[in-house]
Structure 1
Amino acid sequence: MAPAADREGYWGPTTSTLDWCEENYSVTWYIAEFWNTVSNLIMIIPPMFGAVQSVRDGLEKRYIASYLALTVVGMGSWCFHMTLKYEMQLLDELPMIYSCCIFVYCMFECFKIKNSVNYHLLFTLVLFSLIVTTVYLKVKEPIFHQVTAT
């Protein structure tokens, strides 16, 4: 948990169920956890270049989706650590679940006919994502994310 002396900043009081060990608003009034926020640039910028390069190289859409998923995870994490709001926590954690499903799809599709779609696997992963999202929105406990994301 963050130190008890944390101050309130631009985004108001913390509403997230998690608050990391960084002192809140210690670097700037606009960013709750400055270093956690800035460190997300590595999850935003390189994957964007990867997606562009995948398009240029004519790779399958699943590779582009993987790069874009990493970008969305980075942006969600940026928003969460910047604000420490519960809504932004969802924007951080739920894309992690969705991107893991994309990665699982890619992993199972490594040795297949090019440009085909495995609709059974796709349906299963979408159903899993919907179930996890529904439970996550009902339970509102950080342990659920920690268990499902590992």
Structure 2
Amino acid sequence: MAPWERQGFWGPPTSTLDWCEENYVVSSYIAEFWNTVSNLIMILPPIYGAIQALKDGLEICYLLSFLGLAVVGIGSWCFHMTLQYEMQLLDELPMIYCCCVFVYCLCECFKQEKSISCLPIVILLAFSVIVTVVYLQWKEPVFHQVMYGIMVGALVFRSVFIVSWVYPWLRPLCYTSLGLFLLGFILWNIDNLLCDTLRATRERLPPIVGAVTQFHAWWHILTGVGSYLHILYSIQIRRTYLKHRPKVQFICRFWPLIDTESQKSS
């Protein structure tokens, strides 16, 4: 039996997608091991970010951004661990919801402190409901991917507009975030298009070396870091508009976080 046809603890896949990683090779309890554990980058740092956002009293949309990213990571973990359809929904639908929160934060970054705009909330909520209902009835992964692409496109357009015309000094953070996401997207496509070649290559390599060719796992890592940086970018825009002096600090000289304790500028 080919490695990607092995059966494990969760039984035959019921999801509409089964990625390029061979199933149940590393563990009989985890269908796609590397695609699963790579989601830690989307779970642990955002949880820490959410705790910090709560301590710093940031507006709730930024707290929801961190929590949304963590939920996406948890859903993706469950999906790749089990390859069950219910867990696939737990992965894919939160991607739409989280992107809606990201879009709201960027669209409403130039407003009075603690004010809430109902119109964008209604529009984004309606979009989420429509996508959910249609996707539950029409189980076509391409539909989800197109809807997700629309939201990402809106984020890119708004982000580039802000660093081009409002806060050009934020370009490094903005373009690093977008660049990581783009690189992850390229690797995701390579994983889809050259799957047979990648599987054949992994058969000839030692397991640890072969793990480097798990490009869908790299998609998780790169988009996880890119999304985290996007939240920091969004917070920095907002705090700057409110006449604070936010700056990026590093935990253990490695992991970035926005220092929101800076005093307001005069």
**TM tier relative to shorter chain:** over 0.9
Aligned AA (1:79) = C
Letter in 1 for 2:123: T
Partners of 2:146 and 2:76 in 1: CA distance: 18
State the partner residue of 2:144. 145
* Structure 1 counterpart of 2:232: none
Q: Which residue of 2 aligns with 1:36?
A: 35
| Matched AA of 1:84 | L
Corresponding position of 2:7: 8
The structure number with the bigger radius of gyration is 2
Alpha-carbon displacement from aligned partner over 1:39-81 (angstroms, at most 9, x marks no partner): 0000000000000000111111111000000000000000000
Aligned AA (1:101): C
**Equivalent residue, structure 2, for 1:87:** 86
> Structure 1 segments of 4 or more deviating over 6 A?
none
Displacement of 1:4 after TM fit?
A: 7.1
Separation in 2 of the partners of 1:118 and 1:33?
42
Whole-Å separation in 2 of the counterparts to 1:31 and 1:6: 14
Letter in 2 for 1:116: S
Structure 2: gaps of 5 or more residues = 150-266
The reply to whether residue 46 of structure 1 matches residue 45 of structure 2 is: yes
Matched-pair contact (CA < 8 Å) for 2:4–2:24: no
Query: Which residue number in structure 1 is paired with residue 73 of structure 2?
Result: 74
Aligned mates of 1:15, 1:71 — CA distance in 2:
24
Q: Distance in 1 between matches of 2:148 and 2:20?
A: 20
- How do residues 119-138 of structure 1 correspond to structure 2 at under 5 angstroms? 119-138=118-137
Whichever residue aligns with residue 94 of structure 1, its letter is L
Match of 1:98 in 2: 97
Q: How many residue pairs align between the two structures? A: 148
Alpha-carbon distance, 1:6 to partner: 1.8
1:104-132 deviation per Cα after TM superposition (whole angstroms, max 9, x unaligned): 10011111111111111101110110000
- Quick one: distance in 2 between partners of 1:90 and 1:4? 25
Q: TM-score, normalised by structure 2?
A: 0.55
Q: Which amino acid aligns with 2:93?
A: L
Shift of 1:146: 1.2
CA distance in 1 between partners of 2:81 and 2:3 (Å): 18
Query: Which string of whole-angstrom CA distances, capped at 9 and with x for unpartnered residues, describes residues 74-100 of structure 1?
Result: 000000000000110000000000001
User: Do the aligned residues in 1 keep the contact of 2:14 with 2:85 (CA within 8 Å)?
Assistant: yes
Distance 1:4 1:139 in 2: 31
Give, in angstroms, the shift of residue 5 of structure 1: 4.3
1:149 match: secondary structure: helix
- CA–CA separation in structure 1 for the residues paired with 2:33 and 2:18: 13
Give yes or no for the alignment of 1:18 onto 2:17.
yes
Identical positions, percent: 66
